Structure 1
Amino acid sequence: MAKNLRAKIPAADTLLVRDVNEEAAKRFVAEAEEIARSLGVGTGEYQVKIASSAREIAEQSAIMVSSLPESQHVKEVYESIVEHGKLPELEEERLFIDTSTIDPVTSKDIASTIHRAQAGQFVDAPVSGGVVGARAGTLSFMFGASQQPELLERLRGVLAFMGKKAWHLGEPGSGVSGKLANNYILAINNIATAEAMNLGVRWGLEPKALAEMINSSTGRCWPSEVNNPVPGVVETAPSSRGYEGGFGVRLMHKDLRLALTAATESGTPLVLGEPAREVYKEVEGAHRGKDFSVVYQWLQNKAK
C-alpha cells in the first residue's frame, strides 16, 4: 500500500512512514531511493522519510493512513497523537484514514477522540483484497464518514492511490461494520471450500479439475477461485508456497471474534459463527503464522 502511495502521489510530496519493524521501514526507504534514481527525478522528489512517531507524522502531514493488527494498537496510536496537545494548524483539515479491521465501538471512540481534540477527521476505511490486492493496487475499501461531498471526494481520491473501489457505507463506524460482515462470509466460505476440496480429493477427483468445475458453478467464491487452499491449484495462492504470506489465520480468527462480539451486542444470531471460531482457534494453534487457507492442511491432518 505504501509503495502504491509513493508511486502515485505527486513526486514533489514527501511520504512519511512509521513501522515498529524498523528494518522493514529502512528497506522501503532504500527501495524508494533506487526507484528515484532509475526515474532520474530531481533532488527533493520521490522522497520517503522515516518518522520517529505517529505524532510526528500527524504534525507534518495533511493526510495520515494507518494499518494495524488489533483494536488496542489503533487506539494507542491515535491517543499518542492527541495526548501531547493541539496539532499545528494546516491550510486544509487533516484526514486520519484507518484501514485496520477493528471493532465498531473502538473505531467510533477513536473518531470521537480525534473530534474532541479538534485534530481533524477520522475515517474508518478497512480494506479487502489481501496481499495480492495490496501489491497490485486493486484493493477495495469500505469506509465510514460524515456525508460531506467535499470530504467524500477527497477520501475517494486518496483511496484510489491504493485500490480500485471505495464504498461509502454511512456514518463513522459503518466501514468496519461492513468489513466484519464481509469477513464473516469469507471465514465460512474458506472452511467450506477447504472441506469440499478435501472431500473431492479423497473421492479421487483431480484438484484442478474440481476447482475449475466449482468456479464455473454455484460454489464459486474467492477462497475457491483466487485463494484455493489446495497446493498447486492456483499458482499465485499462498497454498502453493507453503501457505506463506497472504491473510494470516490469526487475523481471520481475530476478525471472526470481532464479528461475533458485534453480533452479540446487536442481538443478531450467527448460527455458523461459533463452530467456525472453534475451527480457526485450533488451526491457529496448529499452524501459527500461515495463511488462513491452511484450514485445508489442518483437515487433512485431522483425518489421519
Structure 2
Amino acid sequence: MPLADAAAMGCPRRAPASPSTAHLPTAPVAAPVPREIGFVGLGNMGYNMAANLYAKTCADGGSRLTVYDTVPAARERFVAQHPAARAAATSADVLGAADVVVTMLPDGPALLALLRAAGDALRRDTLLLDCSTIDVAAVQAAVAFCADRGAHLVDAPVSGGVGGAQAGTLTFMVGAAASDGVLPRAAAVLAHMGQRILPCGARGAGQVAKICNNLVLGITMLAVSEATALGLNHGLTPQVLAGIMNVSSGRSWVTEMYHPVPGVQPGSAASRGYTGGFGAKLMAKDLRLACEAAAQVGMPLPLGEPTRHYFDDVVRDPEYASLDFSAVYRYMMQRPKQP
C-alpha cells in the first residue's frame, strides 16, 4: 500500500507539522562582515561550513579566510578548491590573525587545547564562535580563558547535519541573549552558513539547547526503530507502518524525514547503506553529554540513560561504529530473538 493510502485505513489526516518559533528571538545581522575570518576544523561539517563562508564573504575579495585543520591534507584540499583562502601552519596563526574565528571540533578537550596552544597570541576583542557540540563545563572554561585575555567566546552549536552544512541552511543555537552586544558580530558571520540564528540566553545555553534536541532525536530514533521492528515481526511492511505513523500521533521528524528502514525514503542515510548523515558515534557522544548534564543537576533520565547505553552498544560493534545513527534499526533487527 502506498504511503498516500494510509489515510484510507481510518488514520486521521492532518496538516504538515509546522512548529512555531515565533516566540524565539532571532539575531540581527547588523554588524559588517569582518575583514579577517578564521576557521578551525575541516571535517565533514566544518569543510562545508567553511566553503559557504568563503563563497559568500571571501570569493569577491571582501574578506579573507584563513583555515586550519590538524590533518594537513584537509587544509591543502580546501585552499586548492578555494584559491583565495589561506592555510595556516598552526592553529595559533589563525587565532592570532583573525577578527572572528569559527571552530568546529570533536569535543571540549580539543577546544581547550586549541586555546591553550594559542595562549597570548589570542588578540584582544577577537570573537570565537564555537560550533562544536561539547560539554557545558568546557564551554564555561573556554569562555573564562578568552575573557582573561580580553577576547570573547560564544557557543553556537548547529542543527541540520552535513546536508544543511552543504546547503547553508543550518540552525545555530547561540549562547547569547538577544540583547548581548556581541551577538551582531556573531550573526554577521553565522548568517553566511545557515538560515536560523537563535539566541538561547547566557554562555553555554546554546550547548544545553543542542544537547536537549539531540536527546529527543536519539530517543525518537530508537523508539521508531523498535516500533518498526515490532510491526515487521508481525507482518506489516515498513512502508505501510511509516504511512500510518505519519498521519497519526506517532509522527516525527524521524518517521517523515529520516526513516531508519532502507527504501522507505529514497534519499535517507538508511537507503544509502547507512552512510553519510549523522554518525552513530556522534549520537552516542551527544547522549553521553546529555546524561552528564543531567547528573550535574541531579536529574534522572529514565529514557535518556537506556538510550545512551543502547547506542554505546551499537558503536562498540565494529560493523556499526562508522555508520549513520539510523543503523540502530539494523543493529536491532540482527540481534538474536528471545526464545
The TM-score normalised by the length of structure 1 is 0.89
Equivalent pair of 1:86/1:117 in contact (CA under 8 Å): no
Aligned ranges for residues 15-164 of structure 1 at < 5 Å? 15-33=65-83, 47-82=84-119, 85-88=120-123, 93-118=125-150, 120-145=151-176, 148-164=179-195
1:218 is matched with which residue? 249
Structure 2 distance, partners of 1:117, 1:53, is: 20
> Partner of 1:234 in structure 2?
265
Please state how far the C-alpha of 1:49 moved relative to its aligned partner.
1.5
Partner of 2:311: 280
Q: TM-score, normalised on structure 2? A: 0.80
Deviation at 1:131, TM superposition (A): 1.1
Structure 2: gaps (5+ residues):
1-48
Moved over 6 A (4+): none
Deviations 1:162-206 (A, max 9, x none): 111111111111111111111111110010111122222223223
Higher helix share: 1
Q: Secondary structure at the match of 2:171?
A: strand
* Distance in 1, Cα, partners of 2:265 & 2:72: 33
User: For the residues of structure 1 that align with 2:156 and 2:108, how far apart are their CA atoms?
Assistant: 14
Rounded to whole Å, the distance in 1 between the matches of 2:127 and 2:175 is: 13
Quick one: distance in 2 between partners of 1:108 and 1:149? 17
What amino acid is aligned across from residue 226 of structure 1 in structure 2? Answer: M
Q: How does 1:147-296 map to 2 (within 5 A)?
A: 148-286=179-317, 287-296=320-329
- Identity between Structure 1 and Structure 2 (%): 40
Q: Deviations over 1:192-246 (max 9, x none)?
A: 1111222222232232332233223222222222221111112221111111111
Counterpart for residue 15 of structure 2? none
Higher RCO (CA 8 Å, separation ≥ 6 residues): 2
Distance in 2 (CA, whole Å) between partners of 1:20 and 1:212 is 45
Name stretches of at least 5 consecutive residues in structure 1 with no aligned partner: 34-46
User: Counterpart of 1:106 in structure 2: which amino acid?
Assistant: A
Provide the secondary structure at the position in 1 that maps to 2:227.
helix
SS at 1:263 equivalent: helix
Residue 260 of structure 2 aligns to a residue whose secondary structure is: coil
* RMSD, aligned α-carbons: 1.7
The equivalent of 2:334 in structure 1 is: 301
Q: Given that residues 123 and 149 in structure 2 are in contact (C-alpha distance below 8 angstroms), is that contact kept between their aligned partners in structure 1?
A: no
Shift of 1:148: 4.4
Q: In the alignment, residue 18 of structure 1 is paired with which amino acid? A: Y
Counterpart residue identity of residue 67, structure 1? M
